Structure 1
Amino acid sequence: MSRRSLLRAVGGGAALSALAGCGVPAAYIGPGERGASDRSRQDKRLTFANWPLYIDTDDKDKTRRPSLDAFEKRTGIDVRYTEEINDNDEFFGKISPSLMNHQETGRDLIVISDWMCARFVRLGWVQEMDRAHQPNVTKYLDPLLRSPHFDPGRKFTVPWQSGITGIAYNKRRVGREIKHVSDLWADDLKGRVTLLSGLDEAFALLLQGDGVDVTKWTADDFHRMCDKVEKMVNSHHIRRFTGNDYIKDLSSGDVLACQAYSGDVIQLQADDPDIEFIVPEEGGELWAESLMVLNLARHKRNAERLIDYYYEPEVAASLAAWVNYVCPVPAARDILASSKDKELAELAEDPLIFPDDTMRERLAIARDITSKERTEFAKRWNALAGL
């Protein structure tokens, strides 16, 4: 089971809407109120919240995490690692009361999807990192990921892992190559196509298929795309909208082509070499799930050290080899390529972990949906997706 197969993203906005419905405003916190007295020097520990199955584990003892164990041994910092994030909105709802009321959350470091990171950054709920303490991040972070729309220069966020939203299909059953988003609408695929149900997971690739620059798309672009999807829903061309259960549909043959995540397909291909993943010629979305230091974190310096540790190419390589998503440290490729282990060396040539130049030219990070846009857009999209 892949890490993302546990994701239950439903388009975002639910937590904020619930808070607004209770009459509680999402309170912005100014820069001068985000920090707390840092205990890192005298208190050698930190609390790190992440998703399940998103860090390397020992084959013989799943409670051991080799890369994290090595960090603790090197630094003397005790890391309390929790796998408590199963859904972006659910986790937002869990910690937002503390953050909006300017209270500690009990967590120093978290990993959430960039579209949700955008919300935290806008609300002022995370602290700016000190890059003077993070030379590896400064040196090795992939240029494609350095300056997303919501966090220019990555002052508040650092990618943990990255990935691509593209198209997966069964080449043998389809009988031809798929190269464009528009290929999903071919008559012989009617009823055998799925799209991702989450607004933030689905819309960018569909806009790219319409030739839209997703770094600066507009409301008109969004509604024009929805009009097209609505026609495909009404004609029953789209079989359904899915979370990560598209994996099951594609494996069984119930679906021939679908929107998909790059990391999932690597694992599908191990069982079925007929499964292909493509970045459409019009482009694909590059996304990340990123590390952030929360407001009032008591171990900010320790958290920054841990982040920088994972940007050492050797450490990034070991993590990439285990999780199989796009590595945000391109220099890790050379580490894997030089491995005497054949399987590890082959990972260095996998464009779904280290995209080649041709693929990189077609990747873009979509601008985020603003808080003003989200209510309108989510209502339209959720009606289409049956959410």
Structure 2
Amino acid sequence: MSNVVADAPLERDAGDSLLTVGVEEEFLLVDPATGAAAEAVDQVLEEVPPDLRGQVQHEFLTSQIEIGSPPGLQLEALAHSLGLLRSGLSAAAERAGFQLLAVGTGPAGPDDEHSPRIYENPRFHRMIERYGNVSPGPGYNGMHVHVGIPSPEIGVEVLNHLRPWLPILHAATANSPFYNGRDTGYASWRSVLWNRWPPVGPTPWLESHAHYLRIVDELIDSGMLLDEGMLYWYARLSSHLPTVEIRIGDVCLTIDDTILVAALIRGLVAAAMEDIEAGRPALAVEHHLLVAAHWRAAHDGLEGLACDLFEGGSHPAWKMVRRLFDRIGPHLERHGDLETVSYLLGRLHTHGTGAARQRSVFTRTGEMSQVIDYLAVQTRG
């Protein structure tokens, strides 16, 4: 909900029109003895090294903490930044007596009646006053990917082009199968809980930037939004950076997973911009089909079926991943990402999503404590 990356300088290279990419990640703080969400953000922030503090901050609940990478052009630099932040924050959490988990929501509780307090922030209190208790639980942790755009007008067209592709990215990031000590039957239970917030959902079809702004104003006037920052569409224009912000996924389990998703999203944005320049229209998918495709993604992850919004029907999710890869291959190559993405997609196919990996640990051990320990190790990197 907050924006760690807001003060970072936006790096652009107009000479070769490469697109910058930056990432925000939200994490859960837990008690290592029980695995339950811990109201620990202030204690952990005190332990964060001074050189990292500008990229770390609190989130909505006192059991959450967030990092933000500087935007840049190179995946290697992004991975290095996230590695320093994750390892530094994991160590800070351990010094404070807690564990840091990259997981969509709490596997071991607490239940909704015993959820952590919201962070002492006037805006967060206004949100609770407006919406009521729609956000009980240990915390919902997502990943937001920012990709640079030349103008808001182009950005709105990009959002239209992204709509049919976001469900497969939703599936790829699924990383929250457990909640309150049980398997929910979903790959991304965070997605189900997050959709209780009124502003959450697929981005509507947009006629222009003026149309986008008019919708925001109308939603604020209706009372559904407090401000533009509460526009929780799955993709939107950033309110503070010249970027499109894709915010569909659970926080990824590992740095490799995050880098893969960031590269795929940048490739999609680049492909959309090429289509816009060539005058190729976006596919105008009906809203109910988008809702269905995102539900399927949250339920199955990549281990089941995915809705085909281009040709209709449902197919194995990896068939849609293959189509996505073929679509953006030239743009991955142009950004120098093709080899990295090919390798990381192979690993994802072999090992499964974060949800599948968590379930594998639980199936092998039968212990939620082993899942928690596994999450902590994978989070650190």
TM-score relative to the length of structure 1: 0.27
Which of these two proteins has the greater Rg computed from alpha carbons?
Answer: 1
Structure possessing the higher relative contact order (Cα contacts under 8 Å, 6 or more residues apart): 1
**Greater fraction helix:** 2
TM-score relative to the length of structure 2: 0.28
